[in-house]
Amino acid sequence: MSEPRWNLMNKTLLAHAAAAAAALSAGAAVVATRYVIGETDPISLVFYRYLISIICFAPILPKLWPRSGLDAVEYGKIAGFGILFFVLFPWTFNAALQYSPAARGAVGLATIPIQTLLVATVFGREQLTASKAAGVLLAFSGIAMAFGAAAFGRDSSSYLLGDGLMLLSGLCAAISSVFGRPTLMRHRPLFVTALAMVFAVAVLFPVVVLPAVAATGVGAVLPAFSFKSWMAILFLGSIAGALQFSLYMWALRWLPPTTTTLYLTLNPITAMVLGILLLGERLTVELVAGLALVLIGILVGSGLFSAWTRRAFAKTSSQQG
């Protein structure tokens, strides 16, 4: 039995809101990361962040488990999704920032919707439309405008390795979003998110914890972060971890991959705005113009602009008739 049209429309609108909220949270996560990254390495930060997320999920994960269970193929798909999205994606992104400035990383992050659209089109998961292409390019142009002066400086040719890692990071996000969506449609997004994080932490455990224990003893399991860094990590694992990715995965369940990843272009803009509000950074004309382009790109690429236009036209026609 098919779902009522009005209910599907409501879930679609909520999915847009969830994708936007997840992107805004991700922007806040960038600011929080700046507080803690000086006290740890990128891969360890990923491990402890998602470990806290798993602790948040632990009380409800058994209740989310499918009654019919999972076969080995489904376990493999969720494990692959978790490793790609929760290990390789953040690791390559953090590694890229070791070779490139953050502004250049923001521009690289804006290529995720472009790569998602290409992957989805090539593998027949989405239809390439003019509105999707225009929206993706508008959003990318907005990021380039907001960060372009800092991203493309005099020595930009020296960032080849960082650019390559950033593009690889975007490709990981694109592939996981496109090919992970069917799994999210078969199972509860919250369940897939939690279990995928479990696999990610399991993969990172021998990389992060075992070498530290071998070098300094069992006490190394609990890192010696400052109070401010612990607060940042708790935020990254809870609100910007369990909640943020649950919202993103739920949005991906109801929206096409390109539309969902298009909202990620809000991430660096939000990080810059929070930097202005919390860290005293300077507001620029380029940021305002870039934000406007990003918002227009999201409206166009997501189909919201065309939907509103059709609705306004229909209302005007009915009034005239």
CB 13 within 8 A of CB 25: no
Looking at 61-70, 123-132, 275-284, which range is the least confident one? 275-284
Rounded to the nearest 10 degrees, the angle between the axes of helix 189-216 and helix 160-186 is: 130
- Any domain includes 4: no
- Name the nearest CA neighbour of 91 among 42, 159, 36: 42
Rounded to the nearest 10 degrees, the angle between the axes of helix 130-151 and helix 102-109 is: 170
> In b/e form, how buried is each residue of 281-317, taking b as 16+ CB within 10 angstroms?
eeeeebbeebbebbbbbbbbbbbbbeeeeeeeeeeee
Q: Is a pLDDT exceeding 80 seen at residue 117?
A: yes
Q: Could you tell me what percent of the chain has a pLDDT over 70?
A: 87
- Top pLDDT among 175 and 13 is at 175
DSSP classification of residue 284: -
Query: Residue 96: which pLDDT band, with cuts at 50, 70 and 90?
Result: confident
CA torsion sign, 77 to 80 to 84 to 85? positive
Looking at 17-26, 103-112, 172-181, 292-301, which range is the least confident one? 103-112
pTM here is 0.85
**Residues counted in the chain:** 321
pLDDT in tens, 232-290: 999 999 999 999 999 999 999 999 999 999 998 888 787 777 777 776 767 778 878 88
Distance of CA 72 to the CA centre of its chain: 27
Q: Of the ranges 10-14, 46-50, 217-221, which is most confident?
A: 46-50
CB 257 within 8 A of CB 125: yes
- Any domain includes 184: yes
- Name the nearest CA neighbour of 120 among 173, 83, 192: 173
Number of folded domains that form the chain: 1
- Any domain includes 3: no
The domain containing residue 71 runs over which residues?
9-320
Q: Is a pLDDT exceeding 90 seen at residue 176?
A: yes
pLDDT of residue 317: 65
Q: Could you tell me what percent of the chain has a pLDDT over 90?
A: 42
DSSP classification of residue 4: P
